[in-house]
Amino acid sequence: AAARVFKSRQGAGHSATFLTVIFPHNQMQILPYNRVLKDLNGLTPGTLLQKLDAVFIITPSGAARPTRKHELGLFIGGRWHTLHFRPSFAATNDPIEKLDVTLLQKYVLAPIFGIDDPRTSKRINFVGGIRGTAELEKLVNSGDYACAFSMFPTSIDDLMTIADAGGIMPPKSTWFEPKLRDAMFCHMI
């Protein structure tokens, strides 16, 4: 993202600088970047679960936090469901296409919810993993959101494989820890 901004600004003056930091990969932690949806795109919770059954093996009253890759949590109607992608949906060698966030976007958010661009849609918001699944429950139970997806975090290895191949991570696919403190370093533009 920073490289694209630099290129668009032609690297002139102060805008040619940005804060960088290097951490050893074994000291980085990627937390999930969860999703909350404002509405069910006209579906009832029961109809939504029927549609999701084509993509996932669904375990009602499942765990809030996924325990492995290709597993998600869905909070709807006051309870959690564990969703396991059916093997055919994750059968690819493309490192970007097999990320859980890509699979969710491609097979659920776009075709079922009508959210084609998560960057610009007003019907979806993202909740950093540091806030936990209790925050997802709180947001849905408040009535401001209809459901929440708890994601399994992208692995450092997947991130490095995509970066090494020159790929670009999907939007809101990683929540990094540790984060640099705001105002620790400041270069006024």
Please state which architecture CATH assigns to domain 30-177: 2-Layer Sandwich (3.30)
Phi-psi category of residue 155: left, alpha or beta, with phi > 0 → left and psi -120 to 50 → alpha: beta
Average predicted confidence (pLDDT) for the chain: 87
pLDDT tier at 64, thresholds 50, 70, 90 = confident
Whether residue 80 contacts residue 51, with contact meaning beta carbons closer than 8 Å, is answered with: no
Count CB neighbours of 109 within 10 A.
Answer: 23
Assess whether pLDDT exceeds 80 at residue 8: no
pLDDT computed for residue 150 by the predictor: 96
Query: Apex CA 130: angle with CA 187 and CA 106, to 5°?
Result: 95
Indicate the SS3 state at residue 73. Answer: strand
pLDDT in tens, 125-143: 999 888 889 999 999 999 9
pLDDT computed for residue 56 by the predictor: 97
Assess whether pLDDT exceeds 60 at residue 11: no
pLDDT tier at 185, thresholds 50, 70, 90 = low
Assess whether pLDDT exceeds 60 at residue 184: no
Assess whether pLDDT exceeds 80 at residue 81: yes
pLDDT computed for residue 173 by the predictor: 85
User: Which DSSP letter does residue 155 get?
Assistant: P
For the record, the structure tokens of 184 come out as 């620790």
pLDDT computed for residue 14 by the predictor: 65
Assess whether pLDDT exceeds 80 at residue 115: yes
Phi-psi category of residue 131: left, alpha or beta, with phi > 0 → left and psi -120 to 50 → alpha: alpha
- Strand 147-150, strand 79-85: pairing: unpaired
Give the residue from 131, 140, 134 showing the smallest Cα distance to 175.
131
pLDDT computed for residue 6 by the predictor: 63
pLDDT-wise least confident of 24-28, 39-43, 73-77, 119-123: 24-28
pLDDT computed for residue 17 by the predictor: 65
Assess whether pLDDT exceeds 60 at residue 114: yes
